[in-house]
């Protein structure tokens, strides 16, 4: 118990600093690039992933927080985050390789999100509302209250969701809603996802897919 808390606190401290920078000292970008050969088939050489309508979308990894990526890979290995495909690939990486690929992808320039272009104005407006203000009548807090201004992520815990593919965001929200995914701290995401309707999920996924993943960056 005490050890668990201690390690969590030190990780939190890490999040206060520039998490990606501190991670990069442990993870080796060149080695990470090498190890990423197992990832590129889906996540693409530029780390941009791909939105696949009607299928399993591959998330953009480029520019995500290194500690966040590393945690997800560990969770795929342990089964704390369930995904048959990713469990297979994560199992090919040892602990050092996980830190290395995380460091590699975190420093790649973020690419644009896909899958929001065909959304109509009303859906995007609803998405923007949920992202920026939430819908407190249904006790849905705004996305940015945890994922930060513009949905660009906060520390190692709350990943950037702006510029992510809509198919991936929707799939994850549905996974939380249906309790297929539960590797968030303190059920912070699960509690919200359960209050979201299918339309809310589509709206917010489309909205963030059209938003810039880094400040000042063009959407397309």
Partner 1 sequence: MSSFRRQRVVALSSTVLAVGAGLSLYTANAFSQQEERADAALNQLVHEPPTMEDLEASDLHPELKRVIRYGHDLFTNTQQLRGEYVFNDMNCSSCHLGEGRVPFSAPVWAAAITLPDFRGKNQHVNNLEERIAGCFAYSMNGTPPEYGSDEMLALSAYHQWLATGAPMYPDKPIYGRGFPAPEQPEAPSYTRGEAAYQENCAICHQEDGSGHYENGEYVFPAPWGDGSNNWGAGIARVETMAGFIYQNMPLGQPRSLTGQQAWDIAYYINSQERPQDPRYTGDVAETAERFGPTFHNRSLYGQTREHDGHVLGDHANFGEKGDTQPWNVGVPRFEHLSEE
Residues paired with 58 in a beta bridge:
50
**Among 32-40, 105-113, 146-154, 204-212, the segment contacting partner 1 (CB under 8 A):** 146-154
Helix, strand or coil, per DSSP, at residue 128? helix
Helix ranges (DSSP H) in the chain: 2-16, 19-26, 29-35, 40-43, 66-78, 84-90, 95-106, 121-132, 144-147, 166-177, 188-193, 198-209
Among 27, 127, 155, 167, binds partner 1 (CB under 8 A): 155
What does the DSSP 8-state code read for residue 113?
P
Phi, psi (5° rounding) for residue 86? -70, -30
> Dihedrals φ, ψ of 159, to 5°?
-70, 155
CB of 186 to partner 1, least distance (A): 6
Binding of residue 152 to partner 1 (CB under 8 A): yes
30 binds partner 1 (CB under 8 A): no
Nearer to partner 1, 83 or 144 (CB): 144
Query: Whose Cβ is closer to partner 1: residue 52's or residue 146's?
Result: 146
Give the distance from CA 4 to its chain's centroid: 24
- Segment interacting with partner 1 (CB under 8 A) among 35-43, 73-81, 106-114, 189-197: 189-197
User: HSE on the CB side for 139, CA within 13 Å?
Assistant: 7
Which C-beta is closer to partner 1: that of 90 or that of 192?
192
Q: How far is the CB of 10 from partner 1 (least distance, A)?
A: 10
**Count of residues touching partner 1 (by CB under 8 A):** 32
Residues of the shown chain interacting with partner 1 in the complex, contacts defined by CB under 8 A: 5, 8-9, 12-13, 16, 129, 133-134, 136-139, 141, 145-146, 148-149, 152-155, 157, 185-188, 191-192, 194-195, 215
């Amino acid at each position: 118990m005490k050890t668990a808390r201690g390690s969590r606190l030190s990780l939190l401290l890490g999040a206060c600093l520039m998490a990606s920078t501190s991670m990069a000292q442990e993870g080796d970008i060149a080695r990470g690039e090498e190890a990423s050969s197992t990832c590129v088939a889906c996540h693409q050489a530029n780390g941009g992933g791909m939105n696949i309508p009607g299928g399993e979308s591959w998330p953009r990894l480029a520019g995500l927080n290194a500690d966040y990526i590393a945690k997800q890979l560990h969770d795929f290995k342990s089964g704390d985050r369930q995904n048959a495909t990713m469990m297979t690939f994560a199992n090919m990486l040892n602990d050092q390789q996980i830190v290395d690929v995380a460091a590699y992808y975190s420093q790649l320039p973020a690419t644009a999100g896909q899958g929001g272009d065909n959304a109509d104005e009303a859906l995007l407006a609803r998405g923007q509302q949920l992202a920026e203000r939430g819908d407190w009548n249904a006790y849905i807090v705004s996305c940015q209250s945890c994922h930060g201004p513009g949905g660009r992520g906060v520390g190692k815990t709350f990943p950037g969701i702006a510029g992510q593919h809509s198919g991936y965001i929707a799939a994850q929200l549905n996974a939380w809603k249906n309790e297929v995914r539960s590797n968030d701290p303190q059920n912070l995401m699960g509690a919200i996802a359960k209050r979201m309707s299918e339309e809310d999920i589509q709206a917010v996924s489309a909205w963030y897919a059209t938003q810039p993943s880094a400040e000042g960056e063009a959407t397309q």
